[in-house]
Amino acid sequence: MREIVLDTETTGLKANGGDRLVEIGCVELVNHVATGENYQVYINPERDMPDEAFRVHGLSEEFLADKPVFADVIDGFLEFIQDSTLIIHNAEFDIGFLNAELSNIGKSTLPMDRTIDTVKIARQKFPGVRVNLDALCSRFQIDNTNRTLHGALLDAQLLSEVYLELVGGRQPGLELAAEKAKTKPETVESTPQKPARAHAPTSDEAAAHEEFLGQLTDPIWRS
């Protein structure tokens, strides 16, 4: 089972109001295990960067000026995600921006039914408490000390750990330590042996033996 944990950064909150994507980050999971295969790209939004957004992710107009536009990165992005389920924290936001960008260049949009929204899972498990990424990292004791600013790839990596905790804990290693079987030494029961005869035959026994031999016809030791 292949899943893609996905996060984006944008110029603002309104996908259909002029705001644009500036970063996409993805982490590949296979059978709930991170494979180490990631996707990350910065995008030139072809517009200014509002101060409010800059304070969130630290991506300036100057930094993004020489980055590719969305139309130039979309093929690589779609190739990476393929038809995998998308794991997203607040899926409506990220899918909304991705679909707005896809529509702008005449591409098919991404259906919501291929997403798993970790915000919804967290709210079901922990009703009435904060379920943002920092709060969930704290709850699950996931180290997010490097998250001084939002970043799509960093957030996707943190979300992959949060997601595995939300769905029941991190996948144990595929190799289990083998337990050494303590075998009980096998006890071999010996058959009691009849003690060897330690004396010569009696005179009666010797006479009976001679009588028996006399009854034999042409014994082989006399030939």
pLDDT for 219 = 55
CATH classification of the domain holding 149: 3.30.420.10
**184 located within any domain:** no
Kindly report, residue by residue over 22-31, the tens digit of the pLDDT.
Answer: 999 999 999 9
Banded model confidence at residue 1, pLDDT cuts 50, 70, 90: very high
pLDDT for 180 = 34
How many domains does the structure of the chain reveal? 1
Q: What is the mean pLDDT of residues 42-59?
A: 97
How far apart CA 95 and CA 15 sit, in angstroms, is 9
Mean pLDDT of all residues belonging to the chain: 85
The alpha carbon of 122 is separated from its chain's Cα centroid by a whole number of angstroms, namely: 19
Helix (H, G, I), strand (E, B) or coil at 6: strand
Partnered with residue 7 across adjacent β-strands are: 25
Helix (H, G, I), strand (E, B) or coil at 130: coil
Percentage of the chain beyond pLDDT 70 is 75
Where in the sequence is the domain holding 96, given as residue range(s)? 2-166
**6 located within any domain:** yes
The alpha carbon of 160 is separated from its chain's Cα centroid by a whole number of angstroms, namely: 9
Instruction: Find the Cα–Cα–Cα–Cα dihedral 161, 167, 173, 178, rounded to 10°.
Output: 150
Token pair listed for 221 = 């030791």
The alpha carbon of 165 is separated from its chain's Cα centroid by a whole number of angstroms, namely: 11
How many other C-beta atoms can be found within 10 angstroms of the C-beta atom of residue 53?
20
| Residue whose C-alpha is closest to residue 137's, from 124, 154, 152 | 154
**222 located within any domain:** no
Residues marked active site are found at: 150
**208 located within any domain:** no
Name the pTM for this structure: 0.75
**43 located within any domain:** yes
Amino acid code (one letter) for 183: T
148 vs 157: which has the higher pLDDT: 157
Q: Is the pLDDT of residue 178 over 70?
A: no
How many other C-beta atoms can be found within 10 angstroms of the C-beta atom of residue 2?
14
Helix (H, G, I), strand (E, B) or coil at 85: strand
How far apart CA 26 and CA 24 sit, in angstroms, is 7
**176 located within any domain:** no
Q: Is the pLDDT of residue 141 over 80?
A: yes
Q: List the single range of 44-48, 94-98, 214-218 with lowest mean pLDDT.
A: 214-218
**54 located within any domain:** yes
How many residues in the chain?
223
| Residue whose C-alpha is closest to residue 7's, from 27, 30, 36 | 27
**63 located within any domain:** yes
Torsion region of 188: left, alpha or beta (phi above 0 gives left; psi -120 to 50 gives alpha): beta
